[in-house]
Structure 1
Amino acid sequence: MRSVVFVLFAVLAAFNAKASEISIGKKVILYSDIIGEDRPIWIYTPEYEDNERLHAIYLLDGAEHFHAVTGVVKSLTDYNLMPKTMVVGIETTNRPRDYLPKVVGQPQNELQAFISTKWPNAGQTDNFLKFIRTELIPYVDKGYPTYPHRTLIGHSNAGTLALYSLFNQPDLFTNYLALSPQGWWSQAETLSNVEKLADAKRPYQHLFISVGGEGGRFYSGTLELLAAMEQNKPSKLVWTFQQYPNRGHMSSILPALSEGLEYLFSHLNFAITPEIAKYADVSALTAHYAELSKKVGFIMAAPVNSYVEFAEAQAEQQRHTAAVTTSQTLIQAYPNLPYAHMVLGQRLFGAGQPKEAVASFDKAIALGKAQKLDEQVLDALMDMRKKAAEKANQ
């Protein structure tokens, strides 16, 4: 549930008579000393406040899938199904070289033999992951306020690279979205990889793995891997598998992106059930993120929308005092956010405290002017203040 005024904040700027360009990101060229070439990088960031931090998605085959992934990410974020997340798309230059792991020893199956013959320079995955670790991630972390919570998305051969990273460099990413990965490993390599997942020292991770209706090794190889994982019970790895039998190799990408990202980020959300709205106070929300921070190994702040939706749910249960407290805690977390002071003003007005609501709206207006918010947003805040002042003077 979103408040009407939040929608007003988000939408008013769109209804502008002036024509302007629409941009969803930027493209930069990052030279890699490790690979010895320019790597075009596509970057999308959502709108965020000064003291907000972003989760980061690293997208393989960035040029091909950037628009689809950013569209899904924005939609899931707008509907509060995942936290604010930036997308870092890595443009492909040589897929076999960067994405296909090295064939160990003599080829063990027909596909391995084909790869060894067709692409003799394949198998430089460790070099590519070193580029991500030592050049790309530091570049992103220096320029953006990111959490050390990273998601890797790969499709087909790039999905194979995502699984390779999960097995061999588990500290690099937290979430993995492997879409129709090539199931080309031999049985011995599959079992060896799965044994690595059982290491108790591995971090807490999530995996979403999918296949379309491709059949062949795409399907059988994935099932062999999942069967081995089920038997060995990997430590601290939570995973799910989804098949789209009526979709092809490419057409399965979009549904898998939507379902996969929602799955990978669902454990980060604070679920507001009817019971929580009716009985819990803001400590339930802050405790959720404190416990989550312990699990992931870094401090993860409660997002703005979690406070707002919790306060709204409490108010709908006629728990106006609790809703005010939740909104006051929001301001403690985000003191310079005009929207936070507006939310407190709404909750105070609903609690029958119009005089206090006026003070909150005044603070929201002052911050809004200082931050040069759209005049229509400021006008809406003035209308709220006027209504509260009229009530206070009765």
Structure 2
Amino acid sequence: MKKRYLFTTVLMFIVGTLLAQQVKLNSKITVSVHSVNEDVNRSIFIQFPKDYGKVNKRYPLIVLFDAQDQTLYDYTSSAIDRLTWTNDIPEAIFVGIVQNDRSKELNFERYETSSLQFLNFIKNDLINYLSNNYFLNGYYTLIGHSLGGQFATNAMLTYPETFKSVISVSGALNYEEKEKWFRSKVVTKLNYYLSTRPDSVFAKQKYYFSTGDEGFQDSGFKLGALTADSLFVKYKPNSKNWHFDYLKGFNHMTTPLISIPSGLIFVFQDWHFSETLAMDVLMYEKIDPIVAMQKQLDNIKKMYGTEIALPYNAYSQFENFYFVKGELEKASILANKLIKLYPNDDDSYATMADILEKKGDVKGAIKYLKDAQSKSNLAKYADRILRLNSETSTQFRP
């Protein structure tokens, strides 16, 4: 039986994940997806969580434009990896789109027709391909820098029921006056969108945007971001579903360093199991762990419109909380959830074996230990199985 402790603080909940192996995204694969309207093939990078295919859950999708920019792609991948490890965001499938002609694809202001064709590729061809081949849960986040930020914002305004979550980093919402083709199309659409969209519908939207104030590009682009901020303040002043970061001292190339992790944390803030809630559960015992988890899951479903599993350590540490207190039926509920979510994890089965052994169900404990051993292909459970078999034999000895 593994050692069990009753935590009198939430320290282990907060940093418990640091004691486990860091979640690492798999190396990317490259696929080619055909765009029907454009009649071109597009290169797509796809990265999966480390345990993808070994667990029983579906994942949010995070899409990055301009994946041909290796530093931008690698930084976003690392940010997702780190924030997953710290349980600030859920595990997700990460996709990078290589632009064939980024100006004509991303610049809605100048190339409206070709930009909308590219948008329909994402909404129809790409999402259909990914949904048919991978375990998605239907929640999509778009990340765009510069023209990508302009494009992602327009995607949300054009198809708000599909693209509910957008991170726009130094979005190109404004240009110099000499650019005569610029007509503030996206800002105009944003004004109409915010002024006509009911709060009850907007409540499920997540929009993060940022700008710097240094350098040639952001010194011009900041006007568009500040205008967008004024519109959000005007129409949705009390909403928690938008956030603007004005990054003074940052330029166009450095804003992603702050904005990508900040945007991801903002988007998934309603998924995150906060330290305050963990304290109420483990330290102050203000709320029953199962009740707290169910409330969190219900809120996730309400805010994101789909199910997103809580992190492993939430289930395991709350199960341990019940186990040490002797509330074995409740511990069994969470152990069963662990087995369902992580059917290839030997610790999930060993956890259930602990509970059954404490209940006095030795045969049941042996069964789950054998299951654990079969998942790990290790002999670490052999001695315990042997001991329990010996105890069973002694019980039935005349």
TM-score scaled to structure 1, two decimals?
Answer: 0.77
Inter-CA distance 75–237: structure 2 relative to 1 (3 Å threshold): same
* Correspondence 1:344-363 to 2 at 5 A: 344-346=352-354, 355=362, 357-363=365-371
TM-score scaled to structure 2, two decimals?
Answer: 0.77
Pick one of 270, 285, 296 that aligns with 2:304: 296
Who is 2:281 aligned against? 276
Inter-CA distance 6–265: structure 2 relative to 1 (3 Å threshold): closer
Who is 2:97 aligned against? 90
Q: Shift in Å at residue 10 of structure 1? A: 4.3
Is 1:199 the equivalent of 2:197? Answer: yes
Structure 1 unaligned runs (5+)?
15-21, 104-120
Who is 1:255 aligned against? 258
Pick one of 77, 82, 101 that aligns with 1:75: 82
Q: Shift in Å at residue 8 of structure 1? A: 8.9
3-state SS of paired residue (1:56)? strand
Who is 1:114 aligned against? none
Whether the aligned pair in 1 keeps the contact of 2:18 and 2:85 (CA below 8 Å) is no
Whether the aligned pair in 2 keeps the contact of 1:72 and 1:258 (CA below 8 Å) is yes
Distance in 2, matches of 1:146 and 1:88, equals 12
Whether the aligned pair in 2 keeps the contact of 1:281 and 1:326 (CA below 8 Å) is no
Who is 1:54 aligned against? 59
Distance in 1, matches of 2:370 and 2:46, equals 37
Whether the aligned pair in 2 keeps the contact of 1:77 and 1:84 (CA below 8 Å) is yes
3-state SS of paired residue (2:338)? helix
Structure 2 unaligned runs (5+)?
1-11, 175-181
Q: How many residues matched?
A: 358
Whether the aligned pair in 1 keeps the contact of 2:173 and 2:184 (CA below 8 Å) is no
3-state SS of paired residue (2:273)? coil
Who is 1:328 aligned against? 336
Who is 2:316 aligned against? 308
3-state SS of paired residue (1:242)? strand
Who is 1:130 aligned against? 120
Is 1:168 the equivalent of 2:166? Answer: no
Is 1:181 the equivalent of 2:171? Answer: yes
Inter-CA distance 266–202: structure 2 relative to 1 (3 Å threshold): closer
Is 1:244 the equivalent of 2:251? Answer: no
Query: What do you get for the CA RMSD once the two structures are aligned?
Result: 3.6
Whether the aligned pair in 2 keeps the contact of 1:204 and 1:237 (CA below 8 Å) is no
Inter-CA distance 359–163: structure 2 relative to 1 (3 Å threshold): same
* Correspondence 1:335-346 to 2 at 5 A: 337-346=345-354
Deviates more, 1:124-133 or 1:192-201: 192-201
Distance in 2, matches of 1:146 and 1:72, equals 20
Inter-CA distance 41–141: structure 2 relative to 1 (3 Å threshold): same
Whether the aligned pair in 2 keeps the contact of 1:354 and 1:388 (CA below 8 Å) is no
Q: Which amino acid aligns with 2:278?
A: T
Inter-CA distance 194–33: structure 2 relative to 1 (3 Å threshold): same
Q: Shift in Å at residue 45 of structure 1? A: 0.7
3-state SS of paired residue (2:268)? helix
Cα deviations across residues 290-315 of structure 1 (Å, max 9, x unaligned)?
34324433344445443124334556
Inter-CA distance 380–236: structure 2 relative to 1 (3 Å threshold): farther
Distance in 1, matches of 2:162 and 2:168, equals 15
Who is 2:5 aligned against? none
Q: Shift in Å at residue 212 of structure 1? A: 2.6
Whether the aligned pair in 2 keeps the contact of 1:62 and 1:92 (CA below 8 Å) is yes
Whether the aligned pair in 2 keeps the contact of 1:56 and 1:150 (CA below 8 Å) is yes
Inter-CA distance 251–343: structure 2 relative to 1 (3 Å threshold): farther
Who is 2:109 aligned against? 102
Whether the aligned pair in 2 keeps the contact of 1:62 and 1:89 (CA below 8 Å) is yes
Inter-CA distance 6–169: structure 2 relative to 1 (3 Å threshold): closer
3-state SS of paired residue (2:348)? helix
Deviates more, 1:287-296 or 1:140-149: 287-296
Is 1:44 the equivalent of 2:78? Answer: no
Q: Which amino acid aligns with 1:284?
A: A
Whether the aligned pair in 2 keeps the contact of 1:191 and 1:228 (CA below 8 Å) is no
Deviates more, 1:254-263 or 1:200-209: 200-209
Higher relative contact order (CA 8 A, sep 6+): 2
Q: Shift in Å at residue 27 of structure 1? A: 0.9
* Correspondence 1:142-161 to 2 at 5 A: 142-161=132-151
